[in-house]
Structure 1
Amino acid sequence: MKEIGVQTQSEDSAGPRVLSKIPIPEFEFPQILYSSHTVLWLLAATGILGYLTFVRDDSDSSLNQRQGLLGLLLVFIFTCGVQLPDSGFLFRPHPAFWRMLQGLALCYFTILVYFLFQNLDDSRQILAFLDPKLGKPLPEKNYAADCRIYTPENPESMFYNIKDCLFDVYIPTHAIGWFFKMIIIRDMKLCWFLSVLFEFLEITLKFQLPNFAECWWDSLFFDVILCNGGGIYLGYLVCRYFQMKEFYWGIGEDKRNKTGRFSALSRSALQLTPHSWLTFNWEMFGSCKNFITTIWYIIFVNLVDLSNFYLKFILWVPSSHWVLIIRVFFVAFYAIVSTAEYFEYVSSGFKTRLGANCWLAHMIVFTEWMIILKHSQGMFLDPMPYWLQIVWTGIGCFVVSSALCLFYSDISKKNSNKIKSVQ
């Protein structure tokens, strides 16, 4: 592995003992998987590129350009997997996986920057060039057009509306998304809060995005309970099965395992879990800093989710298209290492350097929203309903007042500590 920091400690009764945050390589992986093999990968990459250069049929210009772009991305990701340093947090299933994921993030970021310099029509045409199925207006589906539960006149089913929602593409994608969020956040209370908050965001933004308009039973039972709740619960079961420590966010009683000991697992199953577990003790209401940084994390998670819906609406990308599916899985895995780096940065009091993955994740989300704001000019003209403006004003006042109260509490604690030290 790359960048392994070890320390030695000398004792009278024994020789130097190796202390390391990560395992000794020969015990973590078979030696053939641990060695970098840079020359071997160099020869393999050169051989594959040479074969594609001289053997592949290049008579179709349009196909050549699409496959050339794909080859460019794959070569860049492969190079990152070989040459980039390790993340410093995740080493399983193998460090190369996380290095290639960072390479994919760099590719995605550069593509977003390219789209940032295009107008809306050109952006849609670029997507149509990559896939002829794209670049066409989408028939937006309004889930609140008919909120009846019982439809006896429908020849397909007397409960057609429920059946139509149940077999919608968003059912599995929502469940998968919340499954990964539970794995990342490891706090059921915070996940449930984010789930309800996102449903409220759908109610808030349905005047802009038609498919955010849902029936009450769809939002409550299918989204919150079935999809989001089911994904959260499955993620909770996985956490329990692998004996994962819960991340305590300062909400409710801290029920994390105090001992830090975990049951033994088979070596193959253990390889799919992190080698060491970080305890994320956010203590949201413990201080003003913790409150603000946790609030920003909540906002950031919702910015990631909402950008998916706005980009597909603006750029005419169907919900079931492979581009969006790849983005969902990419975001899910990249959030694991980004969250760890964000917590490390926050818990250090902003004294350590912000991790490269967390920094890149912020740049990606900011760029996505710059694209959304640029290409949506003149598209969303309807004002937000007045009652929603009042509700969000109240939420904003609550957040600001809570931050001020915690700030005053922090100052009082510092002053009392100074007085005690003087005495």
Structure 2
Amino acid sequence: MISMCVFHMYKMAVTRRNHRRSASEISDHFRFINEQSVEDITLEFFYKPHTLTLLVAALVATVYFAFAKTSETDNDGNIRNGLCCVVFFFLLISLLAFPNGPFTRPHPAVWRVVFGVSVMYMLFLVFALFQNYDDIRKIMFWFFPDLEANQPLEKEYAVNCSDITFERFWSHLDWFAFSHFFGWIVKAMMIRHWGILWTLSLTWELTEFAFIHLLPNFAECWWDALLLDFLICNGLGICLGLYLCKKLEITSFHWDSIRDIRSTSGKLKRAVLQFTPASWTQVRWLDPQSSYMRVIAVYIMIFITQLVELNTFFMKHIFLFAPDHPLCILRIVLICLMVTPVLRQYYSYVTDPACKRVGTQLWVFTAVTIIESLICVKCGLDLFAQTIIRNVVLWLLAQMLLTLICLYGIVLQTRKAGKVDMDKSRYTKKWVENSYVEEVNGLSPGGGRAEPPSPHRYNTRRRGMAGGDPN
């Protein structure tokens, strides 16, 4: 958080020194990442707020459940019903008042509700931060009574590492391995940069090695960590995710209105495609003109990503719930939904000099990550008292050094690719200019006498010269 604030102040200072933008420009850029609007609305019914209709329906439902579902003996059920009604009205308010965020598919209302749930989760974390460990456990038991009866059993992976058989290797390809693989596909489609993704993969393996003494679940056999995790789950997930990104980048997105489609199958196909992106652009976290502050911003993103994943393992280890428990799955799904607009807002803030404010989703997500870490530290003091400081210091230094080396290599490669593209552009421009001059003089580019050029070709090249760079 402090690093983000320092980066934010530095960026504002550099931007003001280079170019002083008007307040309207700043406001337009902030609205672009925080309140994206829908263009070419055809079904207006689904994009009107319907505030009065929604209010009447909500009040009718509230009156019914308040009088029909209230019990004179079941106090816990009354409290649950009341909390559900509070959540219901809060999400209604978020549906009407919260910003859309940077996305409009499948519908802006979906992302307003996601933002509303993330705000509620942040408020719950703030409340939990002021409770002790036993009280937090009681709250968890109240919402999930099965946690009190079923104690999770940690699966041991670092057992008989010399016993390498196909049957044992196949037994490790369980539901968790598939979720690991699918998670890296999602990460690849969100970040869309091979260098950053492989840096994340490598630094996470270092993170697991550094925190083995606190999280026994991190202990793995060498072949499990190298082959199953790093190469198969991480590597194949990254390759497949980037392949899908490449296919989406070259896809031509043209959306017809569902009213203009005649067939029923076409209407159904268009309705299903509503859950796909409206467009897909290639991201450039690091370009040939990247400053050192851009590299620092990417480093901050890598560190926050490591912290979010560490929170997942520390929370399930400290508060004793299994990885496949609905509480853990719901949190992971919520984090994924939160990260989707957050990464877009952070990318716009990092790469666009005119964007001087972070988006609201990014602000809430940063607060959620830090409060989760504080809760883990406060409720796991006995666990963190066993920390080997040397391991943590070496982990921080190794992660910083390795990340900087990887990012430096990415910057060099990006600048080299940009220089090659610039040389190709200059060569093409020079060739086109020489061809134009020779054809005007009646000569072919090879030196011989050319045929009289057609008016269409002559005019096309002339318009290219008059308009500047023909490329």
- TM-score, normalization: structure 2? 0.69
- The Cα shift of 1:111 comes to 0.7
AA in 1 matched with 2:41 = E
Distance 1:374 1:72 in 2: 28
Match for residue 118 of structure 1? 131
Match for residue 373 of structure 1? 377
Match for residue 354 of structure 1? 358
Match for residue 322 of structure 1? 326
56, 61, 65: which is aligned to 2:75?
61
Distance 1:291 1:186 in 2: 16
Match for residue 237 of structure 2? 231
3-state SS of paired residue (1:166):
coil
Match for residue 182 of structure 1? 188
Distance 1:379 1:240 in 2: 44
Match for residue 41 of structure 2? 26
* C-alpha contact (below 8 Å) 2:206/2:399 kept by paired residues: no
- The Cα shift of 1:39 comes to 1.1
Distance 1:201 1:44 in 2: 50
User: Is the aligned partner of 1:336 residue 2:340?
Assistant: yes
Change (3 A) 1:355 1:150: closer
275, 293, 309: which is aligned to 2:278?
275
3-state SS of paired residue (1:281):
coil
Matches within 5 A, 1:153-168: 159=167, 161-167=168-174
- The Cα shift of 1:41 comes to 1.1
Change (3 A) 1:403 1:170: closer
Relative to its length, the structure with more helix (as a share) is: 2
Give deviations 1:83-115, integer Å, cap 9, x for gaps.
22322x111100000000000000100110111
Distance 1:383 1:345 in 2: 36
Distance 2:394 2:41 in 1: 61
Matches within 5 A, 1:202-221: 202-221=208-227
Change (3 A) 1:236 1:398: closer
AA in 1 matched with 2:275 = L
3-state SS of paired residue (2:342):
helix
Change (3 A) 1:390 1:86: closer
303, 306, 313: which is aligned to 1:309?
313
User: Is the aligned partner of 1:262 residue 2:266?
Assistant: no
Change (3 A) 1:204 1:350: farther
Give deviations 1:234-256, integer Å, cap 9, x for gaps.
42343244x23xxxxxxxxxxxx
AA in 2 matched with 1:131 = F
Distance 1:79 1:338 in 2: 21
- The Cα shift of 1:166 comes to 2.0
- Which of structures 1 and 2 has the bigger CA Rg? 2
Change (3 A) 1:397 1:172: closer
201, 204, 208: which is aligned to 2:207?
201
Give deviations 1:312-334, integer Å, cap 9, x for gaps.
11111211111111111111121
Moved more, 76-85 or 196-205: 76-85
* C-alpha contact (below 8 Å) 1:102/1:357 kept by paired residues: yes
Change (3 A) 1:31 1:386: closer
Matches within 5 A, 1:46-195: 46-56=59-69, 58=71, 59-87=73-101, 89-135=102-148, 137-150=151-164, 159=167, 161-167=168-174, 169-195=175-201
Distance 2:109 2:355 in 1: 28
By relative contact order (CA 8 Å, sep 6+), the higher-ranking structure is 2
Q: Gaps (5+ residues) in structure 2?
A: 1-26, 29-35, 256-268, 409-471
* C-alpha contact (below 8 Å) 1:140/1:211 kept by paired residues: yes
AA in 2 matched with 1:26 = I
AA in 1 matched with 2:199 = F
- The Cα shift of 1:347 comes to 2.3
Identity of aligned residues (%): 29
Give deviations 1:199-228, integer Å, cap 9, x for gaps.
221111111101011111211222223322
Distance 2:350 2:164 in 1: 51
Moved more, 367-376 or 385-394: 385-394
- TM-score, normalization: structure 1? 0.76
268, 291, 297: which is aligned to 2:295?
291
